C-alpha cells in the first residue's frame, strides 16, 4: 500500500511539475522529534534552489524496523524512495542496492572525518555520503567531582574508583538509590557499541579486523570484559543489563548516577530547562583501558545513500550532495545540534556559539572506533548479535570472559564459514 501511495504521489508530482525536467525526489529521513523538522527545512531549501520537488517519506522510529523496511523495498527493486538515510553499520548490508557515488562524491569526500568516510565505503567504492556523526561519550557530574575532589577519570580503573567513592559518599548521605556509573547493557546493538568501547580501549581490537579475520579471542578483550562485569552490582545497578540509552539517561538525569556512557544527544536533554542536573554536567572522551590503552568511543551516525532503482538518480545524487555539504551541515549543527562530519566545521565560530563543547568532540570522532560492519558486510547483524549475547552472558555472570570469548570465536568462525560475502 505505501508503494501504491508513493507511486501515485510520484505520478502526481510529474503531472504537477511545470518544467519538463523538474522531478520529484523522495527521501526517507528519521522523524524522531526535531529531526523531521530540520530535515524538511534542508530538503525544502534544495527544492527551492533547484526547482525540483522533494518529499519526505516517514519511516519507523526503531532502527531495526527501519532497516527491515529498507530491505523489503530494495529487495523488491522499488523506486519509491530515491534517497535513504542509513546507519553507519548498514552500508555493507545494503550495498548491493545502492548507487556508486565514487565519481560524484570524490571532490568533497576528503573534507569529511576519515572514520565516517570509512563507513561509507564498500570494497573501495563510495556507496553513501556522511551526514552527521555520533560517538560514545562519558558524561560526568561536575558538582560531584568537585565535592569529592576528584579529576575527570582518564582510565577505566580511575572511573571505577571515583564512581565507588562518590557512590559510597552519597549513600552515606542517605541517597540509597545512588549509583556510580550507568550505561547500556540490554542484549541489543547498543551493548555491542558499549562493549566494543571497552575492548578497543584495552587494545583488544574490534572483534573482526579490517581483513575479515576474527580477533576477539585475546587476553586484552577478556580483561576488558572482566572489568565491565566487575561494575555490575557494585557501581552499576544490575538493572543496566536491560537498559537502553533512555533508561540510563533516566537514572543519570534524575540525579541518581555520577557517570553515564551515552551518545551526544543526551547533552541537550541533560542541560534542558526541566533537567534536575542542568549546569552540573560535563562530557569527556571515554576512559582508556590502562596506561597503554586508548580513548575509544564507538562511531555512530548516519549517511545518505541513493537507491540503485531511483528513476531520477542525478537529481537524487544532487540532493545528497547538497544535504551533506558544508552549508547544510552547518545549519543542522547550529539549529539541531547534529554533529557535522566535515572536519573544518568543528572550528566554526557560529557552531561553537550554539554548542560550546563542539571543539572537544572532534578528537572523539577522530579517534572513534568503527564497528566491524565494512569487513562483515551482509553478516554484520549476525556478528553483532553473537557478540552482544556473549558479552551479556559475561555481564550477568553466566560465563567467564575467557570461556565466553572462546565460544564467540568459534561461533563467529562458523558464520564466516563461506567468507563474509
Partner 1 sequence: MAGAVAQGDVFVRVAARRRRSSLTRSRIRSAWLFIAPSLIILALIAGWPLARTIWFSFTDANLNNLSDYEFIGFENYLANYDGEWLGLLTDPDWWQSVWNTVWFTLVSVSIETVLGIIVALILNATFPGRGLMRAIILIPWAIPTIVSAKMWNWMLHDQFGVINDMLLRAGLIAAPMTWTANADTALWAAVAVDVWKHTSFMALLILAALQMLPQDIYEAAKVDGVSPTRVFFRITLPLIKPALLVAVIFRSLDALRVFDLIYVLTSNSRDTASMSIYARQQLVDFQEVGLGSAASTLIFLIIALIVVITLAAGRVRLGEDPR
Check binding of 118 to partner 1 (CB under 8 A).
Answer: no
- Give φ, ψ of 368 to 5 degrees: -60, 150
Check binding of 172 to partner 1 (CB under 8 A).
Answer: no
Per DSSP, the three-state class of 25 is strand
Specify burial of residue 187 (Cβ count, 10 A radius: 0-12, 13-18, 19+).
middle
Closer residue to partner 1 in complex, CB, 230/325: 230
- Span of 32-40, 208-216, 314-322, 377-385 interacting with partner 1 by CB under 8 A: 377-385
Task: Report in angstroms how near the CB of residue 44 gets to partner 1 at its nearest.
Answer: 33
Pairing of strands 24-28, 53-57: parallel
Residue 274 parent element (H or E): none
CA-closest candidate to residue 385, choices 60, 122, 64, 59: 64
CA-closest candidate to residue 170, choices 196, 190, 141: 141
Q: How many helices (H) and strands (E) does the chain have?
A: 19, 11
Q: Which residue is listed with cell 541518581?
A: 256
Check binding of 241 to partner 1 (CB under 8 A).
Answer: yes
- Span of 99-107, 116-124, 361-369, 390-398 interacting with partner 1 by CB under 8 A: 390-398
49: which residues sit within 8 A by CB, 6+ positions away? 322
CA-closest candidate to residue 251, choices 272, 276, 287: 276
Site for partner 1 in 290-329 (CB under 8 A): none
Among positions 207, 214, 240, 304, the unique one binding partner 1 when judged by CB under 8 A: 240
Check binding of 381 to partner 1 (CB under 8 A).
Answer: yes
- Span of 247-255, 310-318, 326-334, 339-347 interacting with partner 1 by CB under 8 A: 247-255
Task: Report in angstroms how near the CB of residue 290 gets to partner 1 at its nearest.
Answer: 28
Pairing of strands 129-135, 299-306: antiparallel
Check binding of 394 to partner 1 (CB under 8 A).
Answer: no
Would you say 100 and 125 are in contact if contact means Cβ atoms under 8 Å apart? yes
Check binding of 382 to partner 1 (CB under 8 A).
Answer: yes
Check binding of 237 to partner 1 (CB under 8 A).
Answer: yes
Among positions 7, 61, 64, 142, the unique one binding partner 1 when judged by CB under 8 A: 64
Closer residue to partner 1 in complex, CB, 97/104: 97
Closer residue to partner 1 in complex, CB, 172/398: 398
Total residues binding partner 1 (CB under 8 A): 35
Closer residue to partner 1 in complex, CB, 23/86: 86
Cell of residue 249, nine digits: 539517561
Among positions 8, 12, 16, 68, the unique one binding partner 1 when judged by CB under 8 A: 68
Cell of residue 132, nine digits: 552527521
- Span of 24-32, 102-110, 184-192, 268-276 interacting with partner 1 by CB under 8 A: 184-192
- DSSP E strands in 58-99: the ranges are 83-87
402: which residues sit within 8 A by CB, 6+ positions away? 222
Q: Which residue is listed with cell 523522495?
A: 26
Check binding of 247 to partner 1 (CB under 8 A).
Answer: yes
Judged by the rule CB under 8 A, the positions of this chain that interact with partner 1 are: 64, 68, 71-72, 75-76, 93, 96-97, 177, 185-188, 237-243, 247, 250-251, 256, 378, 381-382, 385, 389, 392, 396, 398, 414, 417
Amino acid at each position: 500500500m505505501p508503494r501504491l501511495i508513493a507511486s501515485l504521489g510520484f505520478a502526481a508530482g510529474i503531472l504537477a511539475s511545470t518544467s519538463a525536467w523538474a522531478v520529484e525526489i523522495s527521501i526517507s529521513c528519521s522523524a524522531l522529534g526535531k529531526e523531521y523538522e530540520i530535515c524538511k527545512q534542508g530538503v525544502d531549501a534544495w527544492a527551492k534552489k533547484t526547482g525540483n520537488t522533494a518529499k519526505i517519506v516517514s519511516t519507523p522510529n526503531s532502527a531495526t524496523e527501519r532497516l527491515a523496511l529498507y530491505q523489503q523495498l530494495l529487495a523488491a527493486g522499488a523506486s519509491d524512495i530515491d534517497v535513504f538515510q542509513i546507519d553507519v553499520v548498514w552500508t555493507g548490508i545494503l550495498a548491493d542496492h545502492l548507487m556508486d557515488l565514487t565519481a560524484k562524491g570524490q571532490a568533497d569526500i576528503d573534507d569529511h572525518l576519515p572514520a565516517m568516510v570509512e563507513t561509507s565505503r564498500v570494497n573501495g567504492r563510495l556507496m553513501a555520503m556522511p551526514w552527521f556523526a555520533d560517538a560514545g561519550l562519558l558524561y560526568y557530574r561536575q558538582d560531584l567531582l568537585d565535592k569529592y575532589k576528584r579529576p575527570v577519570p582518564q582510565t577505566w580503573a580511575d572511573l571505577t574508583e571515583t564512581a565507588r567513592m562518590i557512590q559510597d559518599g552519597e549513600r552515606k548521605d542517605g541517597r540509597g538509590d545512588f549509583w556510580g556509573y550507568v550505561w547500556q547493557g540490554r542484549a541489543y546493538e547498543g551493548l555491542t557499541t558499549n562493549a566494543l568501547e571497552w575492548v578497543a580501549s584495552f587494545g583488544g581490537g574490534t572483534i573482526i579486523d579490517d581483513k575479515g579475520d576474527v580477533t576477539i579471542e585475546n587476553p586484552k578483550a577478556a580483561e576488558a570484559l572482566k572489568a565491565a562485569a566487575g561494575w555490575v552490582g557494585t557501581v552499576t545497578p544490575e538493572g543496566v543489563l536491560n537498559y537502553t540509552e533512555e533508561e540510563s539517561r533516566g537514572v543519570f538525569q534524575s540525579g541518581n548516577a555520577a557517570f553515564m556512557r551515552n551518545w551526544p544527544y543526551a547533552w541537550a536533554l541533560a542541560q534542558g530547562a526541566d533537567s534536575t542536573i542542568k549546569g552540573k554536567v560535563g562530557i569527556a572522551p571515554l576512559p582508556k583501558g590502562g596506561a597503554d590503552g586508548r580513548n575509544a568511543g564507538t562511531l555512530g551516525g548516519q549517511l545518505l545513500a541513493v537507491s540503485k532503482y531511483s528513476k531520477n538518480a542525478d537529481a537524487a545524487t544532487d540532493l545528497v550532495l547538497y544535504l551533506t555539504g558544508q552549508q547544510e551541515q552547518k545549519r543542522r549543527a547550529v539549529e539541531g545540534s547534529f554533529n557535522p562530519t566535515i572536519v573544518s566545521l568543528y572550528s566554526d565560530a557560529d557552531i561553537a556559539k550554539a554548542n560550546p563543547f563542539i571543539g572537544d568532540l572532534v578528537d572523539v570522532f577522530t579517534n572513534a572506533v568503527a564497528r566491524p560492519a565494512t569487513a562483515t558486510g551482509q553478516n554484520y547483524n549476525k556478528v553483532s548479535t553473537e557478540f552482544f549475547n556473549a558479552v551479556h552472558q559475561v555481564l550477568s555472570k553466566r560465563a567467564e570472559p575467557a570461556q565466553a570469548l572462546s565460544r564467540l570465536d568459534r561461533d563467529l568462525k562458523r558464520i564466516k564459514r563461506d567468507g563474509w560475502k
